[in-house]
């Protein structure tokens, strides 16, 4: 059964929520009185489609449908999650919540994207106050996983559990705050840095570009993978956090910052900041900057995923849930019909797999086919436990044919068949498709090897039996075009 979410307010944040839900298979019902809402959300969706699916190495669910509605009551019908992203004015939010609660299911979660209001302020005067909670995301919502989840007055219950389960299911990290405070947690950090940055510009100490460079070339990268306290624990060296606190604690008494003071926010300061910002980034349009941002975030987060660290660990956990119940999670015995090619890869082409020509770089074809080989090995029982016991398959020869090009965001599938499988030998044929369009083929010859002697050896009887079963099943298929082809041979 398709899950349904409502998005009330379709600006930058609301559009990001719509993309996050829709690309995780939810239908999304949108209400926004702005006549340009459909266009704006469409542009956000276009950016999300090219970037978000490439975070994971398994395909996201089929995209849900986004529909636009003329009233809040229509938009919230049959929904289990309702996300409010209207302007930051309490009277507008109260009016919105009132209209939502008149029409929605009492068991639906109502999350607010507010960056500043406490949940108790949002709930004041509402018919079902516990139904409303802060669910504050970070832009772009479709890539960044953090959501500050703040129920009123620290109250927990079934709706809070439901909210955490839902957010986790769409690849996000609910930071459940037990105590409400103005601006929650993350925005309080941002506000502190923002105030200090305003003073540094106003006092002529640094320009907007120099401040941005101080962040992105220094502590910003550290914070992206370790945060604040773990970073400072490392800074304490072998003696750890106590040493760091003892060494740098006295600096808290020094007048390094102006966090308790605010520069006068007048036209001169606005013009100064805006002028420097235009000089720094004015050559790019907003959509260009969004795509540059998305490229960088996907590349960094995928690098963290390889290390199973920070936001990358969350992505791996979400990826594992996407495999459950699919052929990508099956074992050989789960596949009743061994006469057809086996789906071994189903994923989107990530942004960091593309080259200067705008299509998938040739090295990534090899990686994709290697992933298909690894998946087939796992399928027949040559998994991590078996490899740890001392046996594995080594690739002895590979031949890839590049038939057609493919671009970032495209959903690709690799179907694998066994041309020969017996004893120590495994001869695989991979075909990569986007829909019905053949993109490339990969022919791979592997030998089973003892990891102790590093020499060819027989696999376990169970693995050989599974391999032979597929080899015999695939033997009835026509021999694919290109088998045994050498480089430069005519098609």
| Burial call 50-79: b when 16+ CB within 10 Å, e when fewer | bbbbbbbbbbbeebbebebbeebeebbeeb
Count the Cβ atoms, other than its own, within 10 Å of residue 417: 21
Q: Are 373 and 427 in contact (CB under 8 A)?
A: no
φ, ψ for residue 36, nearest 5 deg: -95, 5
Q: What angle do CA 124, 127, 131 make, to 5 degrees?
A: 80
Whole-number Å distance between alpha carbons of 427 and 448 = 11
φ, ψ for residue 147, nearest 5 deg: -135, 120
Token pair, residue 440, equals 């490339």
Annotated binding residue 273: no
Q: What angle do CA 192, 296, 432 make, to 5 degrees?
A: 150
Whole-number Å distance between alpha carbons of 40 and 49 = 14
Annotated binding residue 390: no
Annotated binding residue 9: yes
Cα distances from 162 to residues 102, 111, 174, 479, in angstroms, run 21, 12, 11, 51
Element (H, E) at 450: strand 437-450
- Sequence-separated (6 or more) residues with CB below 8 Å from residue 249: none
Annotated binding residue 11: yes
Annotated binding residue 227: no
* Cα dihedral 236, 239, 242, 247 sign: negative
* Residue 93 exposed, middle or buried by CB count within 10 Å (0-12, 13-18, 19+): buried
- Nearest-10 Cα torsion for 221, 226, 227, 230: -130
Whole-number Å distance between alpha carbons of 9 and 96 = 10
Annotated binding residue 14: yes
| Burial call 427-463: b when 16+ CB within 10 Å, e when fewer | bbbbbbbbeeeebbbbbbebbbbeeeeeeebebeeeb
Cα distances from 55 to residues 303, 305, 474, in angstroms, run 10, 9, 33
| Residues facing residue 445 across a β-bridge | 397, 427
3-state secondary structure 14-47: HHHHHHHHHCCCCEEEEECCCCCHHHHHHHHHHH
Q: Which residues are annotated as a binding site for NAD(+)?
A: 9-14
Residues annotated as binding site?
Answer: 9-14
């Amino acid at each position: 059964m398709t899950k349904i979410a409502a998005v009330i307010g379709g600006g930058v944040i609301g559009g990001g929520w719509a993309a996050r839900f829709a690309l995780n298979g939810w239908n999304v019902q949108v209400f926004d009185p702005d006549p340009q809402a459909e266009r704006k959300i469409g542009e956000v969706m276009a950016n999300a489609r090219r970037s978000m699916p490439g975070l994971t190495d398994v395909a996201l669910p089929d995209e849900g449908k986004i529909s636009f509605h003329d009233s809040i009551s229509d938009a919230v019908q049959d929904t289990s999650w309702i996300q409010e992203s209207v302007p930051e004015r309490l009277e507008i939010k109260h009016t919105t919540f009132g209209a939502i609660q008149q029409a929605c299911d009492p068991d639906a979660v109502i999350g607010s994207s507010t960056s500043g209001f406490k949940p108790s302020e949002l709930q004041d005067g509402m018919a079902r106050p516990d139904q409303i909670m802060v669910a504050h995301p970070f832009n772009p919502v479709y890539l960044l996983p953090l959501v500050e989840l703040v129920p009123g007055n620290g109250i927990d219950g079934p709706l809070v559990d439901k909210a955490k389960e839902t957010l986790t299911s769409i690849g996000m990290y609910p930071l459940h705050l037990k105590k409400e405070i103005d601006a929650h947690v993350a925005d309080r950090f941002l506000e502190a840095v923002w105030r200090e940055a305003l003073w540094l510009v106003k006092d002529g100490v640094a320009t907007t570009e120099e401040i941005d460079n101080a962040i992105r070339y220094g502590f910003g990268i550290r914070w992206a993978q370790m945060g604040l306290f773990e970073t400072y624990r490392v800074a304490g060296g072998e003696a750890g956090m106590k040493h760091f606190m003892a060494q740098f604690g006295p600096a808290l008494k020094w007048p390094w910052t102006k966090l308790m003071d605010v520069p006068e926010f007048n036209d001169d300061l606005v013009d100064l900041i805006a002028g420097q910002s235009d000089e720094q980034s004015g050559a790019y349009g907003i959509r260009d900057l969004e795509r540059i941002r998305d490229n960088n975030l996907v590349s960094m987060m995928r690098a963290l995923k390889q290390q199973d660290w920070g936001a990358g660990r969350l992505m791996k956990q979400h990826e594992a849930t996407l495999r459950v119940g699919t052929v990508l999670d099956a074992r050989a015995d789960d596949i009743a019909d061994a006469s057809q090619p086996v789906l071994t890869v189903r994923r989107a082409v990530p942004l960091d797999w593309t080259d200067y020509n705008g299509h998938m770089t040739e090295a990534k074809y090899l990686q994709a086919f290697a992933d298909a080989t690894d998946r087939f090995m796992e399928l027949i029982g040559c998994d991590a436990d078996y490899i740890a016991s001392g046996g594995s398959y080594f690739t002895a020869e590979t031949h890839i044919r590049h038939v057609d090009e493919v671009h970032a965001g495209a959903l690709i599938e690799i179907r694998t068949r066994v041309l020969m499988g017996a004893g120590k030998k495994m001869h695989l044929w991979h075909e990569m498709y986007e829909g019905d369009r053949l993109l490339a083929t990969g022919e791979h010859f592997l030998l089973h090897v003892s990891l102790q002697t590093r020499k060819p050896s027989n696999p376990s009887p169970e693995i050989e039996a599974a391999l032979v079963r597929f080899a015999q099943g695939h033997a009835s298929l026509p021999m694919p075009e290109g088998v045994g082809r050498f480089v430069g041979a005519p098609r």
